[in-house]
Structure 1
Amino acid sequence: MVMMSFINPLGYLLFFCGVGYLIYTLVSGSIRPDATGKQKTAEFDATEDSGFILIFQPFYRILTPFVHRLPVPGYKRRVQSYVITAGLENQVTGDDIIGFQITVMLLFGIVGMVLSDSTVTITLSAAFGLVYPYLWLREKKTQRQERIKLSMPDVVDMLSLSVEAGLSFNAAVQKVCDIYRHDKDPFVVELYLMDQNIKLGRSRVEALKVMADRVDLMELDSFASILIQANKMGSSIADVLKSQADRMRSERFLKAEKIGAQASQKLLIPMMVFIFPIIFIVIFGPYLVKWITG
């Protein structure tokens, strides 16, 4: 009992100190000029929205030395691959995410300590804080992969038209990147990064493999493999791109039809539970009332 009476004031103190420091970080960060003193006008906007995670940067960066020493290499590799696939590697690293997990775990543990004396509540709060950043990152990765899958047919079609107009494949990629410069299309971002790798001296085959590994998406892996095969066989890139665009568009249409068919099946249970009883009451209710009242 004495221990809990000590922990409660300590929890309040830590909680309000953390909130105060967070507010200070937000305010100072919003008015602080860029460290370079230059306006950020990148040649191509390849930055994904990292959400609220950068708000906690002063906290989880303190934990970086501790995270480096954690003996979980497999988990670190998986988190880092998620960061890359989610398009966040310019803002955070895998170690930052793990540090963020520890930070949120401590924060939620303190909140649980403030709100309740129950050990179970405190433990569950801390566990949720530990797991939530990982789930958030995985969702960001999945959302970006879905956006790439949706945009691929149109972008590949634009590549095909550019190549048919007489541009080389690399020039067509640059043209498409220029057209979609401000759209933040994730597939175009990956094409831009692929083009940068080629400019840095990598072959087209290597750059395509790197792009496929980064995104970790079956459709993009298939697209890269076909382009690599066409490059080795000396086939017409324009014909390959055209056929790929048609195939992707057909697959997208079939998927939309499948989702539409599934929607009607999913509506069946709510109709049976909510709508049919109401229809039954409206139709037979007056007869039932008349029968009861005689």
Structure 2
Amino acid sequence: MSLMLLLIVAIVALLIIGASVLLLRRAEEDPLAVRIDEFAAREEAVSIEDIELSMPITDRIFVPIVRRISDFVVRFTPQTTLERTARQLELAGNPRNMSAAEFWILRGLSTVVLGVLLFVMMTRNGAEPTKRILWGLGGAALGFYLPAMFLRSMIDRRKQSIIKKLPDALDLMTICVDAGLTFNAAMQKVSEKWDDPLSDEFGRVIYEMQLGKSRRQALKDMSDRTDVPDVTSFIAAVLQAEQLGVGIGKVLRIQSEQMRVRRRQRAEERAQQAPVKMTFPLVFLIFPSIFIVLLGPAGIQVARSEALKGLTG
């Protein structure tokens, strides 16, 4: 029995040693060399046509078409217009990674689609030719301005999100710096903790610094991308403190207090504007409903009594 047990232990030990040797050899191998060997071991070389056929149909057909159209748009669109559109896309965060030419292609498509759609609808309804043309032109105008309106809305929402999150981000950065972290590590903590435009901007600053850009230039670029006065003042204070040698923790503490005061002031300002904004719905929506509920039964009774008097008279 003891001999059998020793034999089993020896076999298990040999298996463990063999597996360890194989794992160590794989760990020492260069993964790039392994990939090269795999491609070299293929019997047939992969041609460019096979690679293109393996791509999705959208990448094979629609992407080249969009690129050709965008080249045409870039050629015949003023450079100032493209730069202004690119600036607006940057302020909106550009979640789709869309170029200025592609945005103008989208505006052109929406113009044609809405114009033709309304024209066809009015034609089916049997409208006069003048009305068809007017409705078609109205749809085209709506399709032209609708993407710009959506882009403007995205810019406003992004700015409001940054303004709302900035005091909390500065509080976290202040705590991190007081705990002994560097300013770069504090920005990294903010980018990891939340998923919002401000955290994305701090993450982009860290990424640009890793690529070799100076912190001063990366922060200035962040100020240009956000176009928020609070962010601009915060970055200016940080850069000035860095230039003068002032402790960054003290600057962050002062800036966080100022941002909280500004947020409270904005809340008070909105509270003071509430009565003015409530005037229109009160006068045109709520008061008429109240009058109908209060005076409606009395009016019905008066009408019935007048009708009864007319019948008896």
TM-score range for the pair, normalised by the shorter chain length: 0.7 to 0.9
Q: Distance in 1 between matches of 2:199 and 2:171?
A: 12
In structure 2, the residue matched to 1:115 is 121
Q: Distance in 1 between matches of 2:145 and 2:280?
A: 33
- Report matched runs for 1:111-150 at 5 Å: 111-117=117-123, 118-150=132-164
In structure 2, the residue matched to 1:248 is 259
1:93 pairs, out of 94, 99, 102, with: 99
Q: Distance in 2 between matches of 1:261 and 1:291?
A: 43
Q: Distance in 1 between matches of 2:57 and 2:176?
A: 41
Deviations 1:17-52 (A, max 9, x none): xxxxxxxxxxxxxxx6999xxxxxxxxxxxxxxxxx
In structure 2, the residue matched to 1:159 is 173
For these two proteins, the number of residue pairs brought into alignment is 241
2:243 pairs, out of 211, 227, 232, with: 232
Check conservation: 1:212, 1:221, Cα contact below 8 A.
yes
Higher gyration radius (CA): 2
| C-alpha displacement of 1:249 | 1.3
Q: Which runs of 5+ in 1 are unaligned?
A: 1-31, 36-55
In structure 2, the residue matched to 1:105 is 111
Check conservation: 1:61, 1:99, Cα contact below 8 A.
no
Structural RMSD (CA): 2.9
Check conservation: 1:85, 1:214, Cα contact below 8 A.
yes
Deviations 1:231-286 (A, max 9, x none): 11111111111111111111111211221221123223433445445556666777
Asked whether 1:264 is paired with 2:275, we answer yes
Compared with structure 1, are the counterparts of its residues 290 and 193 closer, same or farther at alpha carbon in structure 2 (3 Å cutoff)?
closer
| C-alpha displacement of 1:134 | 1.6
What letter corresponds to residue 80 of structure 1 in structure 2?
A
Asked whether 1:203 is paired with 2:214, we answer yes
Deviations 1:172-200 (A, max 9, x none): 111222222xx2x1001001111111112
- Report matched runs for 1:31-50 at 5 Å: none
Q: Distance in 1 between matches of 2:216 and 2:239?
A: 6
Compared with structure 1, are the counterparts of its residues 260 and 60 closer, same or farther at alpha carbon in structure 2 (3 Å cutoff)?
farther
In structure 2, the residue matched to 1:64 is 70
Q: Distance in 2 between matches of 1:71 and 1:280?
A: 57
In structure 1, the residue matched to 2:4 is none
Which piece of structure 1 moves more, 267-276 or 215-224? 267-276
What letter corresponds to residue 201 of structure 2 in structure 1?
E
What letter corresponds to residue 211 of structure 2 in structure 1?
L
Check conservation: 2:192, 2:199, Cα contact below 8 A.
no
Structure number with the bigger relative contact order (C-alpha 8 A, sep ≥ 6) is 1
Which piece of structure 1 moves more, 90-99 or 206-215? 90-99
Q: Distance in 2 between matches of 1:107 and 1:76?
A: 23
TM-score normalised by L of structure 2: 0.68
Percent identity over the alignment is 31
Give 1 or 2: higher helix fraction.
2
Compared with structure 1, are the counterparts of its residues 232 and 281 closer, same or farther at alpha carbon in structure 2 (3 Å cutoff)?
same
Check conservation: 1:97, 1:134, Cα contact below 8 A.
no
Which piece of structure 1 moves more, 276-285 or 156-165? 276-285
Partner-residue secondary structure (3-state), 1:92: coil
